[in-house]
A and B are shown apart, each in its own frame.
Chain A
Amino acid sequence: MSDIVLSPGVRANLLQLQQTSDLINRTQNRLSAGKRVNSALDNPINFFTAQGLSVRANDLNALLDSMSSGISTIQAANNGISAITKLVQSAQALVSQARQTADTGVLATLSSQFDDIRTQIDQLSADSGFNGINLLGGNDLTITLNEDASSTIVVGSYTDTTAGDLAITAAANNWAVTTDIDTAASELSAALVTLRSQSQALSSNLTTVQVRQDFTKAMINTLTVGADNLTLADSNEEGANLLALQTRQQLSTTALSLAAQADQNVLRLFR
């Protein structure tokens, strides 16, 4: 008995028929439920991914919360540092006034004003926290940057008190002796250097976290679009969509700007 030989065309037609009957069943099911993937049996991978999506979006949102409170903490510390810097600068003004006089009465007044500023610096430093974390008061801040917490950023703590990192001692002998004024002057300029470097470190941390925050926000937006469409996934449709997108992108500004950006990059050497 001879076999039945099916030409490729016939085989394709048969396949199409099978798929069509499959499709009719699925469509009926979907019509009754109103959603294209409505059970784990329909398309297990997409079903469970879609289920997991809301969980992931929540994780990312929690991450965003931690980032924005981290940003506020760093900003509070940075504001504290700039206020303290101004105080140190006014203390410097006192010192230069003291250098221009020999009147012990005036010197005593100036030195007591200097001590007042010291107290204000300590108070400011104690008040530079956010949410109970004060980066100028010896508290560390750890910000988690991704979902599984494998990437974190630790913002180091400072102790910006006159007795701590700033090392500004109280005015000695009512500034009656010139060397005491000199000591105050050199301590103040050292404190300014410390403050400047701390502020730079904080700003760079701030930029890092802000970039990550923007990225995470954009990622959540993109993912949410994906989540809405995921239950609609169908490889026939997706393939056709991709072909259309491929053509559309060829004419898009994004493709052009990518090429332009590559020209400014090390990639330009690669020809």
Chain B
Amino acid sequence: MGLKVELKPGERLILGECLVTNGTQRTRLLIEGQAPILREKDIMLPAQADTPAKRIYLAVQLMYTARDPRNHHDAYFSLMRDLVQAAPSAWPHMVAVGNHILAGDMYKALKSAKALIAHEKELLDHATRGANLRRGRQQDRKSA
């Protein structure tokens, strides 16, 4: 059973080592076989990867699309070590990513990496909110 993909006009897709760009109409594709497939919305470009978890996603994505994923293992583990030390609560997500990679299921690994990004966002939002609260408090004091 292949993978069904529906593309909007102009939407792009990575298929193996090629970039597929849809024409002006909606297209339905049925893809069979083992090549890596990445939809435009799932693609993370280096410029977009500006947080620790997003960089992990990028590393997993590179492993997925590379001929030899081993080249990216070092970067992956150094990023993982950074993150697990900074935010131990992300641990379960990181285990999920690792287990999927181990099982060779890179698409699921990417999905788990997405969950990791969501978790990180929560923590980061929390931190920025905390900073705003503190700022708000000082303003409050000034106005009083």
B46 to A56, Cβ gap below 8 A?
no
B 30-71 binary contact with A (CB < 8 Å = 1; else 0): 000000000000010110011110010011011001100011
Which residues of B sit under 8 angstroms from A218, Cβ to Cβ? Answer: 73, 77
Given contacts A225-B81, A262-B45, contact A242 B99 (CB under 8 A): no
- Cα–Cα, bound, A239→B127 (Å): 5
Cβ of A235 to closest chain B Cβ, rounded Å: 5
* Nearest-neighbor residue (CB-CB) of A268 within chain B: B19
Asked if residues B124 and A226 are in contact (CB atoms below 8 Å), the reply is no
Partner among A146, A215, A254, A267 whose Cβ is within 8 Å of the Cβ of B79: A254
- Cβ-based interface call for A243 (8 A): yes
| Chain A contact residues, majority secondary structure | helix
Chain A hits for B75, CB < 8 A? 254, 257-258, 261
Q: Which residue of A lies closest to B80 (CB)?
A: A222
Q: Give the Cβ gap from A10 to chain B, nearest Cβ, in Å.
A: 7
Query: Counting chain B CB atoms within 10 Å of each CB, which of A12, A56, A150 scores highest?
Result: A12
A224 → chain B, closest Cβ, in Å? 10
B6 within 8 A of A: no
Question: What is the interface of chain B mostly: helix, strand, loop, or mixed?
Answer: helix
Of the candidates A235, A250, A269, the one whose C-beta lies within 8 Å of that of B126 is: A235
Bound-state Cα–Cα, A244 to B143, Å: 31
Assess whether A127 is interfacial by the CB under 8 Å rule. no
Q: Are A243 and B65 in contact, CB atoms less than 8 angstroms apart?
A: no
Residues of B at under 8 Å CB distance from A? Answer: 12, 14, 16-19, 43, 45-46, 49-52, 55, 58-59, 61-62, 65-66, 70-73, 75, 77-89, 91-92, 94-95, 98-99, 101-105, 120, 122-128, 130, 133, 136-137, 139-141, 143
Seen from chain A, the residues whose Cβ lies within 8 Å of a Cβ on chain B are 7-10, 12-13, 16, 46, 49, 56, 145-147, 150-151, 211-212, 214-216, 218-219, 221-223, 225-227, 229-230, 232-233, 235-236, 238-246, 249-250, 254-255, 257-259, 261-262, 265-267, 269-270
30 pairs, CB–CB < 8 Å, chain A vs chain B: A8-B140, A9-B137, A9-B139, A12-B133, A12-B136, A49-B91, A146-B103, A150-B103, A151-B104, A215-B73, A215-B98, A221-B77, A222-B77, A223-B94, A226-B94, A227-B91, A233-B87, A235-B123, A238-B87, A242-B86, A242-B127, A243-B127, A244-B86, A246-B52, A249-B55, A261-B66, A261-B75, A267-B14, A267-B45, A269-B18
